Amino acid sequence: MLATALQYSHTLLQEILQPGEIAVDATMGNGHDTAFLAELVGRTGHVYAFDVQELALNNTAKRLAETPELAKRVSLIPAGHETLDQHLPADCSIKAAIFNLGYLPQSDKAVITLPETTRQALDALLLRLAPRGRVILVCYYGHVGGAEELASVRDYCRALPQKEYNVLNYQFINQQNQPPILFCIEKKR
């Protein structure tokens, strides 16, 4: 069977992220991606995870507490992804980042990611992205504001210069209920 957007996002990260490297979970949610990235970066790497919701921070902290060595590799930052430039070390080179755009499952559906803040975060990440590094965006768009953010992400990705980036769009086109759409931005050099 073909991989879902979520499964494929992990494959794309696993292909490039090595122990000792730095990764960003721009929307930590319930901590699944944060824990996955923490496993990949190993004892000598680090993950910076962002979210504005206290529920997300608590759920992620609980998930990481189940494996204490993972918790040591992660900084949980109670802020939106648009502030990542303020929270990352000035000289860090990021090998991988992931966004799950939309809202936190089983929470307030009025609290959503926004096109403007996502673009700000992407601008900051691309400046720090290591050669052959990847930024993954999984767009959940079946909610109010979701279609606008999806269009913004698609436009942003299409506008990236081909000489500097490869951009992949992965989606199922015959499924109902607006299945998530994945974008992968890969820095060439």
pLDDT digits (tens, 9 = 90+) for 50-70: 999 999 999 999 999 999 999
Domain ranges of the chain: 5-11+18-187
Specify the pLDDT at position 173: 95
Average pLDDT over the chain reads 96
| Residue keyed to tokens 């699944």 | 32
Specify the pLDDT at position 35: 98
Q: Which amino acid is at 32?
A: H
Specify the pLDDT at position 108: 83
Instruction: Write phi, then psi, for 122 (nearest 5 degrees).
Output: -65, -45
pLDDT digits (tens, 9 = 90+) for 140-180: 999 999 999 999 999 999 999 999 999 999 999 999 999 99
The answer to whether 82 and 56 are in contact (CB under 8 A) is no
Question: How far is Cα of residue 184 from the mean position of the Cα atoms in its chain?
Answer: 10
User: 3.40.50.150, 3.30.930.10, 3.30.2130.30, 3.30.70.3460: which CATH number matches 5-11+18-187?
Assistant: 3.40.50.150
Q: How far apart are CA 91 and CA 96, in angstroms?
A: 15
Half-sphere exposure of 7 (CA within 13 A, CB side): 5
Q: What percent of the chain is modeled with pLDDT above 90?
A: 95
Question: Given pLDDT bands bounded at 50, 70 and 90, which one contains residue 107?
Answer: confident
Specify the pLDDT at position 110: 87
pLDDT digits (tens, 9 = 90+) for 65-76: 999 999 999 999
The SS3 of residue 47 is strand
| Residue keyed to tokens 């507490």 | 65
